[in-house]
Structure 1
């Protein structure tokens, strides 16, 4: 029997490895031991969010409304023509959906108005911090994926398709209601994913331009190599998926209402900043240099950053190593001030 849209794997892709919640033990320790995506079946099945969602959309909506702060939610909406896939317009001068602010009861009314349609309009609320928008549900619906105070956010939508993108933090995506299909690619598949512009993005992260439901291999021929490296899984309510930092992930909502709660955390303190700032500065300062100079700077980055070891600066006394040594919050603050001063000249 041919695979349906609900159960098919991409050609050549493999399933994500999985465990049951009872097999996990200490969650932060378990996740720290993983180097690849991994599903934990039933990890959050005990959450009231999940239990209410299994009863009905109305029960889940009422539960969320009781815990809602009342602050307007940033909402993306699009016509049925985009088939749920949020991205660019035809000439990349803008996006294929509109962004507005909406109250939660308005959102649920919109969901109900198009439930059951074969090609509904797109309705989507992206990353919404629990502490700000849903303080009333945070305590009753929680796990501890890391001991470094992760950020928790809620995502709601109908049959929305979020194109493949990566996140810098580690991610634990907990499926609350509806089913979601995740297609994941390791970081080294960057060149095969045909990524759009990094400075103008639908939601802050660069996205693949490939429609992974119907890949156009004439336009994107190298995507066949990404397909061969793909991992794929469908999350049921109560399941959780660990997505390591920098893994690309494409996400499809498969039901009339899909709700996900995720946690982000990073392996270095927030005061260390984000590598995205370095990349943007490299576009400004390095990319246009002559090839010989670019190669020289590549060697410098390799020596001091990507392949650095204790031997790199062992000839400098520890007291004089400055940014070559350990960077604490005070040193990070001083470096940021120095960079800001240089950029503002």
Structure 2
């Protein structure tokens, strides 16, 4: 087992850039790797409320919460802050619903207790669950129409995972640590199950605080490439699509606001759906058949060059031409009919 300080101290820092909010959208147009902007959102009212103390920050959020049930993850008392699997590969936390005020008061009541359960509101849609919060605290992202989410909780550790959308995350209250790895490091991070996950995405099975290099020897290679950033209130980080990120809330009370968007047209399908379908239809075929399908995928999907279509008259290529909303809809309808048989 490695000492946790050794793990994080061995990583390179995420590069930092000096930008103001008005420059962010154009910078993101050229961004393909992570970067941190210090103080990007220090003028947010939410951040300013947090500087007065966690109680003031909680009251600010309570005043804007809509009157509806919020979904919350609650760990076992004394179970630590890591949201992960239990010994039977179930979840080591339970999911409940309740009024926002009661959940927030529960976080406050447990602060400082040695056996306090982890309490975590994860990926809450800002517009659906709060009135005015998004309008008062927002980053200008140009023509992007992102999904805006808020994450609120006690000390937490969320295992390394990927998201398909790009992500700008703002540490609004408390402190956050992001540990990042490029997409090609997925095998060195030992991803777990696809369908049985804490939050819908496969997660790394490595405990970043106590990595077991006997069980996960390739993680040492990932550590040589990984990046780390500790964010203070108002700091922001850009996490590109499919970069692995391990996220920790380091303070007794933490709030993160993030913006997700895809650069691909909205009518395109989700790549993870194609992966699941390939597992269903191809993975367990005989090796010779899999080799043929690998070649077909290269021909139609990954190479997708002139040799794929030049021999077919223009106007007769169908979905082999670049997809449009109409042809994407036709393909989706065909797949739905096929899957329903």
Q: TM-score, normalised by structure 1?
A: 0.94
Q: Cα offset for 1:295?
A: 1.6
SS of residue in 2 equivalent to 1:135: coil
Residue 289 of structure 2 corresponds to 293
Matched, 1:62 2:27: no
Structure 1 CA distance, aligned partners of 2:7 and 2:187? 22
Q: 1:302 to 1:280 in 2, by over 3 A?
A: same
**CA distances 1:82-127 after superposition (whole Å, capped 9, x unpaired):** 31111111021x2110100021111221111121235531000000
Which residue of 320, 328, 341 maps to 1:332? Answer: 328
Q: Cα offset for 1:242?
A: 0.3
Residue 303 of structure 1 corresponds to 299
Q: Cα offset for 1:284?
A: 0.5
- Over the residues paired in the alignment, what is the CA RMSD in angstroms? 1.7
Matched, 1:45 2:42: yes
Aligned counterparts, 1:1-345, within 5 A: 10=8, 12-22=10-20, 26-92=23-89, 94-118=90-114, 120-345=116-341
Q: Cα offset for 1:195?
A: 0.9
**CA distances 1:236-286 after superposition (whole Å, capped 9, x unpaired):** 100110000000000011000010000000011222121011001001000
Q: Cα offset for 1:8?
A: 6.6
Structure 2 CA distance, aligned partners of 1:12 and 1:304? 42
Unaligned runs of at least 5 residues, structure 1: none
Unaligned runs of at least 5 residues, structure 2: none
Q: Cα offset for 1:25?
A: 5.1
Q: Cα offset for 1:320?
A: 1.1
The structure 1 segments of at least 4 consecutive aligned residues displaced by more than 6 Å after TM superposition are: none
The total of aligned residue pairs comes to 339
Structure 2 CA distance, aligned partners of 1:209 and 1:234? 22
Q: 1:286 to 1:11 in 2, by over 3 A?
A: farther
